Structure 1
Amino acid sequence: RDMVSGAGHDACNIAAVAPTSMIFIPCIDGISHNEVEDAKPEWITAGGQVLLGAMLELAGVR
């Protein structure tokens, strides 16, 4: 699903020299960058699967 974010993180700086992307997962109650931030394990797993798929595609394995 689409997620709106104002985050830039290091991707903003790295993008000047290399392609970048960011993978976002939802947080329970929308809380992020806070000590009470939490996410369901299946959301974390899904984010990891997206990363794995992207890396395999870039490596020409997929």
Structure 2
Amino acid sequence: MNPEIHLALHHARAAELRAAAEAHRLATTSPAPRGIRTRVGWTLVEVGLRLATPKPAALAPSS
């Protein structure tokens, strides 16, 4: 195969892969949470996780 043709095919394929990666990145990134409803929701999630996490056993006082 002619090296120039091979290089052109390589550049075309690399451009396709970059475009696909960029499309995937744009599809998976979510905007920053906004609004009071979202903030209250995440606060409730935090509180729920704290309540659901077992507390470590208290150390017994040494005698």
TM-score (norm 1): 0.35
Q: TM-score, normalised by structure 2?
A: 0.35
Q: Which has the higher contact order (CA 8 A, sep 6+)?
A: 1
